[in-house]
Structure 1
Amino acid sequence: MDGDSESTPAGFRQELLARARAVDLLALGAVPAVLVAVFALPEATRLSFAFAYTDPTAVTAFTAHYVHLGTGHLAGNLAGYGLLASVGYALAVLGGRRRFFLTSMATFLLAFPFVLSALNLAVPRNAVGFGFSGINMAFAGVLPLLLWAYARDRFFPTASLRALPAVFFLLVGWIALLALPVSTDGIGLAGLGMAATGLVTGVAYAWRTEIRLRHPVRERVRAVTSQAGYGDLFVIGTVVLVGYPIVGFPSDPTGSGSVVNLYVHLLGFCLAFIGPFILLVGDVIDE
Structure 2
Amino acid sequence: MTNRSTDSSVRDVDPSLREVLRSRARPIDLLVLLTVPVVLLAVFTLPETTRRSLAFAYHDPTVLTAFSAHYVHLEADHLLANVAAYGLLAGVGYLLAVTSRRRRFFFTALATFCLAFPFALSALNLAVPRRAIGFGFSGINTAFAGLLPLLLAAFVHEHLSEPGFASANPSPRSGGPQHVPLSDSAPVRLLPATFLVVVGWIGVLALPTSADLTGLVGPAVLLGGSLLGAHELLSTSPGGRPSLRDGLRRTVDRHGYGDLFLVGAALAVAYPAVGFPAEPSVDGGVINLYVHLLGFCLAFIGPYTLIAAGAFDERSSGSGTRADLRID
Scaled by the length of structure 2, the TM-score of the pair is 0.81
CA distances 1:33-76 after superposition (whole Å, capped 9, x unpaired): 00000000000000010000000000000000000000100010
Which of these residues, 27, 40, 45, is aligned with residue 32 of structure 2?
27
Which of these residues, 191, 194, 203, is aligned with residue 226 of structure 2?
203
CA shift in 2, pair 1:55/1:260, >3 Å: same
The runs of at least 4 aligned residues of structure 1 exceeding 6 Å deviation read: none
Which of these residues, 228, 232, 242, is aligned with residue 259 of structure 2?
232
Which of these residues, 289, 311, 322, is aligned with residue 262 of structure 1?
289
**Structure 2 match to 1:151:** 156
**Structure 2 match to 1:248:** 275
Mapped partners of 2:295, 2:31: distance in 1: 24
- Partner letter of residue 75 of structure 2? G
CA shift in 2, pair 1:114/1:215, >3 Å: closer
Q: Which structure's residues are more often helix, by fraction?
A: 1
CA contact (8 A) 2:207 2:214 kept: yes
- 3-state SS of 2:278 partner: coil
- 3-state SS of 1:201 partner: helix
CA contact (8 A) 2:146 2:299 kept: yes
- 3-state SS of 1:131 partner: coil
Mapped partners of 1:32, 1:17: distance in 2: 24
**Structure 1 match to 2:208:** 181
The Cα shift of 1:22 comes to 1.4
Which protein shows a greater Rg?
2
Mapped partners of 1:150, 1:215: distance in 2: 15
Aligned length, in residue pairs: 277
Unaligned runs of 5+ in 1: none
- Partner letter of residue 283 of structure 2? S
CA distances 1:110-151 after superposition (whole Å, capped 9, x unpaired): 000000000000000000000000000000001000000000
Mapped partners of 1:23, 1:286: distance in 2: 24
CA contact (8 A) 2:94 2:106 kept: yes
Mapped partners of 1:182, 1:111: distance in 2: 35
Asked if residue 47 in structure 1 is aligned to residue 49 in structure 2, the reply is no
Query: What is the aligned-residue RMSD (CA, Å)?
Result: 1.6
Asked if residue 165 in structure 1 is aligned to residue 192 in structure 2, the reply is yes
Unaligned runs of 5+ in 2: 1-11, 167-184, 315-328
- Partner letter of residue 103 of structure 2? R
Mapped partners of 2:38, 2:244: distance in 1: 43
**Structure 1 match to 2:43:** 38
The Cα shift of 1:244 comes to 0.3
The Cα shift of 1:285 comes to 3.7
Mapped partners of 2:125, 2:243: distance in 1: 45
Q: Provide the identity percentage.
A: 56
Asked if residue 4 in structure 1 is aligned to residue 9 in structure 2, the reply is no
